[in-house]
Amino acid sequence: MDTSGPAAFVNGEILKMFVGRRVRTVVQAQREEGGLLIGQSTDGHQLTIKGASGAPMSHYVEIIGIAEPNQAIRAEVCTDFGENFDPAPFNGLCKLANGQMKDLFL
């Protein structure tokens, strides 16, 4: 396992603390604006994803990329999780991975 560039589990709120670093999140694709994907994070924020066009609308998409200011991510890897995805557990995971259970995560 490559641990050199770990991607932290984040939601919209936690994303702000990782600007400039690699993150992993799941958004629900809402619309595209000039090549940018606008998606809703699992805690209800609007995130702008660069370099992730073509995602089917209303599908959940996992994004791994570099966090940028203003709730944006420059995507490196995108994975379509389909429509059948429960955002609540992922959001719970993000909170645990950055809070109480931080020690368990890279």
Partner 1 sequence: MDSDAAPSVTPGAVAFVLENASPDAATGVPVPEIVLQVVDLKPIGTRFTFLASDGKDKIKTMLLTQLAPEVRSGNIQNLGVIRVLDYTCNTIGEKQEKVLIITKLEVVFKALDSEIKCEAEKQEEKPAILLSPKEESVVLSKPTNAPPLPPVVLKPKQEVKSASQIVNEQRGNAAPAARLAMTRRVHPLISLNPYQGNWIIKVRVTSKGNLRTYKNARGEGCVFNVELTDVDGTQIQATMFNEAAKKFYPMFELGKVYYISKGSLRVANKQFKTVHNDYEMTLNENAVVEEAEGETFIPQIQYNFVKIDQLGPYVGGRELVDVIGVVQSVSPTLSVRRKIDNETIPKRDIVVADDSSKTVTISLWNDLATTTGQELLDMVDSAPIIAIKSLKVSDFQGLSLSTVGRSTIVVNPDLPEAEQLRAWYDSEGKGTSMASIGSDMGASRVGGARSMYSDRVFLSHITSDPNLGQDKPVFFSLNAYISLIKPDQTMWYRACKTCNKKVTEAIGSGYWCEGCQKNDAECSLRYIMVIKVSDPTGEAWLSLFNDQAERIVGCSADELDRIRKEEGDDSYLLKLKEATWVPHLFRVSVTQNEYMNEKRQRITVRSEAPVDHAAEAKYMLEEIAKLTGC
Residues that bind partner 1 (CB under 8 A): 84-86, 88-90, 92-93, 96, 100-101
When the beta carbons of 36 and 93 are compared against partner 1, the nearer one is 93
Quote the least distance from Cβ 84 to partner 1, whole Å: 8
Helix, strand or coil, per DSSP, at residue 97? helix
When the beta carbons of 40 and 65 are compared against partner 1, the nearer one is 40
The C-alpha atoms of residue 57 and residue 11 are separated, in whole angstroms, by 19
Quote the least distance from Cβ 21 to partner 1, whole Å: 25
Quote the least distance from Cβ 11 to partner 1, whole Å: 14
Residues 6 or more apart in contact with residue 81 via CB below 8 angstroms: 26, 59, 60, 61, 62
When the beta carbons of 2 and 86 are compared against partner 1, the nearer one is 86
